[in-house]
Amino acid sequence: MPLDKNVKNVLVIGSGPVVIGQAAEFDYSGSQACLALREEGIRSVLLNPNPASIQTDREVADRVYLEPVIPEMIEEIIQRESVDSILASVGGQTALNSVMLLEKSGKLEKLGVRILGTSAASIEAAEDRKLFHDLMNSIGEPVAASATLAERDYLIKVGEVDFFPVIVRSSFSLGGLGGGIVDNGGALVQICEEFFAGHPGATMEIEKSLTGLIELEYEIIRDPSDSCISVCNMENVDPMGIHTGESIVVTPAQTLSDREHNTLRDAAFRIVRAIGIVGACNIQFALDRKSGQYYVVEVNPRTSRSSALASKASGFPIARFSTKIAVGYALSEIMNPVTRNTYAAFEPSMDYVTVKIPRWPFDKFQVDRSIGVQMKSIGEVMGIGRTLEEALMKAIASLDNEISASIRLDVTGQNLIELLSKPSDLRIRAVFEALFRGHETSEISALTGYEKYFIEKFANIVKEANQITIGQIPENLASLKKLGISDRIISKMSGIPELEITRHRISSGLLPSFRTIDTCAGEFKSETPYFYSTYEEQGDYLQPDERKKVLVIGSGPNRIAQGIEFDYCSVKAVRALRKSGYSAMMINSNPETVSTDFDVSDRLFFEPVTLEHVSNVIAMEKPVGVLVQFSGQTGQNLSWGISDLFGESMILGTSPSQIMRVEDRSQFSASLDRLGFRQPDYTSVYNLEDATHKVDSVGLPAIVRSSFVIGGRSMDIIYDRKNLLRRVQDIFSANPRNPAIISRYLENAMELDVDFVSDASKVAICGTMEHIEEAGTHSGDATMVLPASLNHGATEQLRAIVESLAREFKIVGVANLQVAFRDGTFYIIELNARASRTIPIVSKATRTDWISVAVGLITGTTNLSGFADGTPNGVYVKVPVFPFERFSDLDILLGPEMRSTGEGVGSGESRVEALKKAFLITNKRSERPVSVLITVHDMYKESMLPIARFLDQSRILLLATPGTHDFLAKFGIQSTKVYKLEDMREPTISSAISNGNVSVVVNLPGSSPGLRDGFQIRRLALSRGIPLYTNLKLADTFFRSVLSSVAIRPREILDRLQIANS
Amino acid sequence: MTGYVEILTDPSYRGQIMVFSSPTIANYPWIQEAMESGTIQVSGAITRDSHSLLSGGSSLDSVLSEYQIPGIDLVDTRTLILKIREKGVMKGFISDSDEVPGEFPDPMLRDLVSEVAGNQIMTLESGKDLECLVLDTGAKKSLMRRLSTVANLTIVPFDKFPHSRLNEFDFVFLPNGPGDPSHESLRALRGSISDVLGTKPVIGVCLGHQIISLAAGCSTYKMKYGHRGGNHSVTDGTKTWMTAHNHGYAVSRDSMRGTIMQEKQWDINDSTVEMIGNPDMGILTTQYHPEGAPGPHDMDGFFDTIGTLVRNFNASR
């Protein structure tokens, strides 16, 4: 099956902004796809509005469109780029759905574009649950009983259901959104009512719940010759009922017998053949071990989170192979790039175990921590070890949250039992705690539904950890290390400082060896330097590398405030190092990302990004230095430990002592005073009483934080005294030794984010982004515009500040400055001596690889003389996307804590065009609004008036709550009165929203504690997918852009270069 | 990863020390029905993390003890395997003393087939309309079970070839077994097969494939470290399949030239001959185990092919 020569220009659709259920894994698979196409001489045209991704880099794709994924845009790009084929399988559900939409409308046929790989009919057979169940029944594959409900017949059909409890799903689900287990007809009818009110034309599927059975996944590839392979199987430690994205997943499956395994594998092959998969797919099975019966749960006819995990776990690059297959190749014609000695027609064998654990945002969101059929996690980590214990403990270390420091839980016996039986993020710790307290493994197995085998592995860890005694370095240190127990946990349990344990280990030679992931368990010679550490006597032979080595720290699991933008940064840093002749090594633990693609670096260490594991790599590889500034706070936090162990010179770029001066708020503020820069008024307080006295000298609203926080807890902007004192109290309980800083928050000031590079004397400004929202919104949640609307004088003034700070703190590399601008004065809010979240978008907007420039400055190969500041190529608007629909108990009001999971970018020749595209990404709808519901607290009514007037003039129908209505009437603006629930009068807000009479909601509640009075309204808008604005400036910007007549056009990222030059 | 019960009891592994590349072994309990013979056939087992040893319970450790087979756990098996890959299969011994014997006997010189083969005639009636003569060189139970769905089996000891009864059978089947196919102990069998070739369909698997090839005038050779495990891809030039392998010897392709043996499939990575066929001569042999156990069933169609081949061949006579 040779290459299909008719394929010349392929449109690759990316998954867009990172959301829960669609994260960095599609940056990885999309990047692999583009590179695989390039190898074949096929031009890739990438559509993805996610600026933080690596794949939207011209180094990866041949043509890049950072544009909203909407049918009109896709059509126009297809025509502009003479696209002949479309690859829908590497951009998650987003890409698949949009391609299916185009296919069904007949547009693809009209444009002469064909879908590569799995056909549209096959995709539908896998995705549409009814078709899928029929197909499975026809080939005799067991599926759980199910029924499809529509608006017209659900009442009758629900009555006929005899297979409760059921799982509820809507067609074309996304990460289990809306899924829930229902155990009676009454509850089901209620869900139907709500669902069909919002989605009248849609259908809903119900299915017999298989909760409690063993959940297994198979990653299957089928090629055009009908050859199939099972790349690897995965066993979910959490039984059915927990979304696989929420489960602890072990690769390869550990408890299957050969008969069980091959029964499922055979079934998987029958299924992919019946569906007609060409390329990769993921099949989920539920296995009832007692009866031997299995059920087919789901088939994903595309690359997925699981395929990314399977790729990293097995070393088999699934997206790459599936792309080669999509353009015509058979597995037997594709070389295995890991061994370079064998073919892709092979099933990897693993001589190690991997454990994946999800990373939940519960450290940021105060929400219900229970987990279930709906995904709540935002990222994941993978631990690799020779034993399950080692892999598990390395995954735990990688999580970089509470459990990484302590596997024990301080709870009552009753609570512990509850935590074991009720799934939540705390269950792993509960299992450990129960074992520490002497519970039997079989009891824990029964409570958790985990196979006893796994509990016994937990028990092996506890047994060894129990021998740790307080106050001394454990005598069984070697045994503890063999089980993967981190220095940090040993430190916690022994009371010996972590650094002391690490130092003792290194000096006594208790270091791990490094093993290769070779896809074949040593059977063939492998050339790929993909490593993990393990405590065995011997390691694999590492080819000596004569070049100077530099270790780049990766950013670990995706989490709120640390997403794929830092993967972009670390990957770009690796590329820059390799280009300038260094041997670039990467350490990271995130299986989703591009950085953990073994093709990216000269050596990949798939390891926890912790001081322990970083120092193990340093001790073995002896690099000339380590780059910490490209991986967010994770890298920066390691800098002091690394310099303690290996000397300050081990950290390349801005030195750890300077980073300390920047991070320590007291030192930083003192420096600013000395330099004569303005900063918001502030005061240091040393205890709660001190705070009560001093708070008034600063005034409200205020920002409260510890003077020194490792981990950079974001600024809290607080509007009332009570909350302020509570926050101060929190800070003292967390960091009793450091003073807390209370500083005045500037209202009505323009906020700016400045990214710059520096060699400690000169600087180049990469870009300055202006926040649209005023005070109170976290910079990660703000909508930002590049370029900022500063005049020449202000720009020069800002530049001088940047230059002066760069010199003061001897910034070498890249850094980010946050300032507020009011009445001609800049106030310095924060300096980060590291790459920021905005650098990828700035790099793309200014067509300059700023990470590469920063690396050049760090290694001394780049000179800043004559280096111009960045000039954006048009206007760029960064918009955040939020996970509110995942957390029914999370309020939508934006505040000082970051909530967004990812971002999109809109770009254009004008602000309006860029904004229009940006809002298209977040709102996912392009039609002009017809009616707007306005309900604002008295304190905002004046400032809301211009918006209402503008909407009125634009002939938009206004709906308003009585107070707002009366206020508008005073100014001659007509509106339809709608009532709040408590008014007990019709029409209510909810009936207006439910009846589809509202296109947009503007809701601004008063300050706390009445803050939640619009909670219902906001949730309702959200559940109907109605755009909701809780910030007036943003609302104003939104309406003025979407109602303008400016057209939006797709542009390739380098297109405008020509426009700008001409 | 899976299938440790089948592997340890597979007669083809007779005389060998098994090093498991999968580090976690025996995670599920010993399954009596999964045994491929009546006993553990390997001479020793080396594991990285045998579940029974670390966690208690009655799995691998106690089973090995029951059969008086030595095992070592917590061994850095990957290092051992890399050594075997570089140096080839090597002789070894397991002992609880520090003394190293002066000489390691080569198990391949032993009459291994006699150690594992049955010594009585057995029948496996399945009500099929085909009669099959199996020469038992140490057949796996699962292979016999699967074959019996194609034909009624009469299983006779490999050294008691029933020349006089040959007419009772529609075809002859040579299964797997341990050791060197050119071993002296198999001389008579090779001779008998040589006589039968062309007159009756002869089907073979693994050792059977090698013996038939030798009988047809081909030669075999000892591989550096052989093919083991369930993930070897074979191809016919168009499609590829995953197959279960356990062979340290292979048929020399060069030696097939000019014989009735025609290559049908080969290993995709090292091009070892994996399937030989000649429908006109009634020959079909595979180097791999189409029955899996442990391993994939991708080539399960082999068994259906047997029926077709036998019927066609016999009809044409």
E strand segments, A114-244: 114-115, 146-150, 166-170, 180-182, 203-208, 214-222, 228-236
Active site residue B183: no
- Separation of alpha carbons A180 and A161, rounded Å: 16
B 10-49 → A contacts, CB under 8 A = 21-24, 27-28, 31, 34, 48-49
In this structure, of A516-520, A1055-1059, B2-6, the range with the lowest mean pLDDT score is A1055-1059
Return the higher-pLDDT residue of A1006 and B196.
Answer: B196
Interchain pair A351, B21: CB under 8 A: yes
Interchain pair A257, B34: CB under 8 A: yes
Q: For chain B, what is the domain count?
A: 2
Average pLDDT over residues A160-172: 79
A231 and A242 inside one domain: yes
Interchain pair A225, B233: CB under 8 A: no
DSSP state of A707: S
Q: What is the mean pLDDT of chain A?
A: 91
A526 and A571 inside one domain: yes
A106 and A240 inside one domain: no
Give A511-557 pLDDT, tens digit per residue. Answer: 999 999 999 999 888 888 999 999 998 889 888 888 999 999 999 99
Interface test with B, best of A214, A222, A257, A460 (most B CBs within 10 A): A257
Which of B22, B55, B231 comes nearest A351 by C-beta?
B22
In a domain, B111, yes or no: no
In a domain, A1021, yes or no: yes
A542 and A501 inside one domain: yes
Interface contact B291, partner A, CB < 8 A: no
Interface test with A, best of B55, B227, B266, B299 (most A CBs within 10 A): B55
Nearest CA in chain B to A342: B269
In a domain, B311, yes or no: yes
- Sequence-separated (6 or more) residues with CB below 8 Å from residue B56: none
Give B153-163 pLDDT, tens digit per residue. Answer: 999 999 999 99
In a domain, B51, yes or no: yes
B124 and B198 inside one domain: yes
Q: Which residues of A touch B78 (CB under 8 A)?
A: 351, 386, 515, 521-522, 536, 540
In a domain, A895, yes or no: no
A354 and A480 inside one domain: yes
A774 and A830 inside one domain: yes
Interchain pair B242, A229: CB under 8 A: yes
Return the higher-pLDDT residue of A349 and A721.
Answer: A349
A350 min Cα distance to partner chain B (Å): 6
Query: How far out from the chain centre does Cα A178 lie?
Result: 20
In a domain, A443, yes or no: no
Which of A256, A343, A538 comes nearest B2 by C-beta?
A256
Q: Which residues of A touch B27 (CB under 8 A)?
A: 254-255, 453
Contact (CB, 8 A) for A595 and A556? no
Nearest CA in chain A to B269: A342
A495 and A583 inside one domain: yes
In a domain, B61, yes or no: yes
In a domain, B183, yes or no: yes
Give A23-68 pLDDT, tens digit per residue. Answer: 999 999 999 999 999 999 999 999 999 999 999 998 999 999 999 9
A511 is written with which tokens? 């270091």
Q: List the domain range (segments joined by +) for residue A767.
A: 750-870
Long-range contact pairs involving A466-471 (C-beta distance under 8 Å, separation at least 24): A466/A436, A468/A493, A468/A494, A469/A494, A470/A494, A470/A495, A471/A495, A471/A496
Last residue of a domain, one of B81, B105, B129: B105
- Separation of alpha carbons A1036 and A1053, rounded Å: 28
B186 and B279 inside one domain: yes
pLDDT at A269: 98
A216 is written with which tokens? 């297994």
Last residue of a domain, one of B105, B124, B146: B105
- Separation of alpha carbons A635 and A995, rounded Å: 50
- Kindly list the distances between the CA atom of residue A40 and the CA atoms of A43, A112, A301, A326, A340, in Å, as whole numbers in the listed order: 9, 22, 23, 12, 17
A96, amino acid identity = L
Confidence of residue A209 (pLDDT cuts 50, 70, 90): confident
Give A784-841 pLDDT, tens digit per residue. Answer: 999 999 999 999 999 999 999 999 999 999 999 999 999 999 999 899 999 999 999 9
For the beta carbon of residue A722, count every other beta carbon within 10 angstroms. Answer: 10
In a domain, A474, yes or no: yes
| Residue A1031 three-state SS | coil
A484 and A392 inside one domain: yes
Q: For chain A, what is the domain count?
A: 7
Which of A592, A556, A567, A589 lies closest to A22 in space, CA to CA? A592
Which of A619, A611, A667 lies closest to A636 in space, CA to CA? A611
A245 and A330 inside one domain: yes
Residue where the block lists tokens 């509570």: A726
B 224-283 → A contacts, CB under 8 A = 229-231, 233, 235, 238-242, 268-269
B138 and B41 inside one domain: no
B51: left (phi over 0), alpha (psi -120 to 50) or beta: alpha
Interface contact B87, partner A, CB < 8 A: no
Residue A744 has pLDDT above 80, yes or no: yes
Contact (CB, 8 A) for A89 and A301? yes
CA pseudo-torsion sign A101, A106, A111, A112: positive
B18 and B147 inside one domain: no
CATH of the domain at B52: 3.50.30.20
- Which of B209, B245, B247, B289 is catalytic? The answer is B289
Active site residue B291: yes
Average pLDDT over residues A242-258: 96
Interchain pair A257, B28: CB under 8 A: yes
- Sequence-separated (6 or more) residues with CB below 8 Å from residue A54: A27, A31, A60, A564, A567, A568, A571, A572, A594
A754 and A738 inside one domain: no
Query: How far out from the chain centre does Cα A52 lie?
Result: 11
A164 and A227 inside one domain: no
In a domain, A423, yes or no: no
Residue A887 has pLDDT above 80, yes or no: yes
B89 and B203 inside one domain: no
Last residue of a domain, one of B62, B84, B105: B105
Q: What is the mean pLDDT of chain B?
A: 94
Give A336-351 pLDDT, tens digit per residue. Answer: 887 777 889 999 999 9
Helices marked H in A655-720 — which ranges?
656-663, 665-675, 688-698
Confidence of residue A1011 (pLDDT cuts 50, 70, 90): very low
B164, amino acid identity = S
ipTM (interface predicted TM): 0.96
Q: What does residue B222 show for φ and ψ, rounded to 5 degrees?
A: -90, 130
B101 and B120 inside one domain: no
Last residue of a domain, one of A744, A760, A783: A744
In a domain, A614, yes or no: yes
pTM over 0.90: yes
CATH of the domain at A997: 3.40.50.1380
Interchain pair A522, B49: CB under 8 A: no
**Which 3-state string (H, E, C) describes chain B?**
CCCHHHHHHCHHHCCCEEECCCCEECCCCCCHHHCCCCCCCCCEEECCEEHHHHHCCCCHHHHHHHCCCCEECCCCHHHHHHHHHHHCCCCCCCCCCCCCCCCCCCHHHCCHHHHHCCCCCEEECCCCCCEEEEEECCCCHHHHHHHCCCCEEEEEECCCCCHHHHHHCCEEEECCCCCCCCCHHHHHHHHHHHHHECCECEEEECHHHHHHHHHCCCCEEEEEEEEEEEEEEEECCCCEEEEEEEEEEEECCHHHCCCCCEEEEEECCCCCEEEEEEHHHCEEEECCECCCCCCCCCCCHHHHHHHHHHHHHHHHC
Residue where the block lists tokens 């996610």: A50
Query: How far out from the chain centre does Cα A274 lie?
Result: 34
A357 and A344 inside one domain: no
- Sequence-separated (6 or more) residues with CB below 8 Å from residue B279: B309, B312, B313
B303 and B213 inside one domain: yes
In a domain, B110, yes or no: no
Helices marked H in A707-764 — which ranges?
721-734
Interface contact B179, partner A, CB < 8 A: no
- Sequence-separated (6 or more) residues with CB below 8 Å from residue A834: A628, A629, A630, A632, A633, A635, A636, A654, A659, A814, A815, A816
Residue A712 has pLDDT above 50, yes or no: no
E strand segments, A888-1038: 902-908, 931-936, 957-960, 976-977, 1000-1004, 1028-1029
DSSP string, A510-528: ---EEEE--SBTTSS----
Interchain pair A349, B21: CB under 8 A: yes
In a domain, A946, yes or no: yes
B91 and B191 inside one domain: no
CA pseudo-torsion sign A392, A394, A395, A396: positive
Q: Which residues of B touch A538 (CB under 8 A)?
A: 76, 79
Interchain pair A345, B268: CB under 8 A: yes
A488, amino acid identity = R
- Kindly list the distances between the CA atom of residue A922 and the CA atoms of A473, A902, B179, in Å, as whole numbers in the listed order: 53, 11, 68
Contact (CB, 8 A) for A429 and A437? no
B85 and B133 inside one domain: no
In this structure, of A319-333, A533-547, A620-634, A1044-1058, the range with the lowest mean pLDDT score is A1044-1058
In a domain, A442, yes or no: no
For B283, how many CA atoms within 13 A lie in the half-sphere containing its CB?
A: 24
- Kindly list the distances between the CA atom of residue A997 and the CA atoms of A961, A977, A1004, A1030, B236, in Å, as whole numbers in the listed order: 14, 13, 20, 19, 64
A333 is written with which tokens? 């014609």
B22 and B170 inside one domain: no
Average pLDDT over residues A431-438: 98
Interface contact B74, partner A, CB < 8 A: no
Active site residue B132: no
Residue A1059 has pLDDT above 50, yes or no: no
CA pseudo-torsion sign B169, B173, B177, B181: positive
Give A470-509 pLDDT, tens digit per residue. Answer: 999 999 999 999 999 999 999 999 999 999 999 999 999 9
- Separation of alpha carbons A735 and A815, rounded Å: 26
Nearest CA in chain B to A267: B297
| Residue A563 three-state SS | coil
- Residue count of chain A, please give it: 1062
Q: What does residue A114 show for φ and ψ, rounded to 5 degrees?
A: -110, 155
- Separation of alpha carbons A60 and A273, rounded Å: 32
Task: Name beta bridge partners: A606.
Answer: A588
CATH of the domain at A98: 3.40.50.20
In this structure, of A73-87, A196-210, A452-466, A551-565, the range with the lowest mean pLDDT score is A196-210
B143 and B49 inside one domain: no
Q: How many CB pairs under 8 A join A and B?
A: 145
B301 and B208 inside one domain: yes
Cis peptide before B105 (omega within 30 of 0): no
B298 is written with which tokens? 């991708």
Interchain pair B269, A341: CB under 8 A: yes
B316 is written with which tokens? 């044409």
- Separation of alpha carbons A18 and A537, rounded Å: 42
A502 is written with which tokens? 């690490």
pLDDT at A696: 82
Q: List the domain range (segments joined by +) for residue B309.
A: 116-316
Q: Which residues of A touch B22 (CB under 8 A)?
A: 252, 349-351, 521
Interchain pair A457, B295: CB under 8 A: no
Interchain pair A227, B241: CB under 8 A: yes
Interchain pair B28, A521: CB under 8 A: no
For the beta carbon of residue A1046, count every other beta carbon within 10 angstroms. Answer: 16
- Separation of alpha carbons B129 and A211, rounded Å: 46
State the Cα angle at A220 between A216 and A224, rounded to 5°.
160
Cis peptide before A1050 (omega within 30 of 0): no
| Residue A759 three-state SS | strand
Residue where the block lists tokens 């006893």: A452
Interchain pair A523, B21: CB under 8 A: yes
- Which of B6, B51, B206, B245 is catalytic? The answer is B206
Which of B1, B23, B28 comes nearest A387 by C-beta?
B23
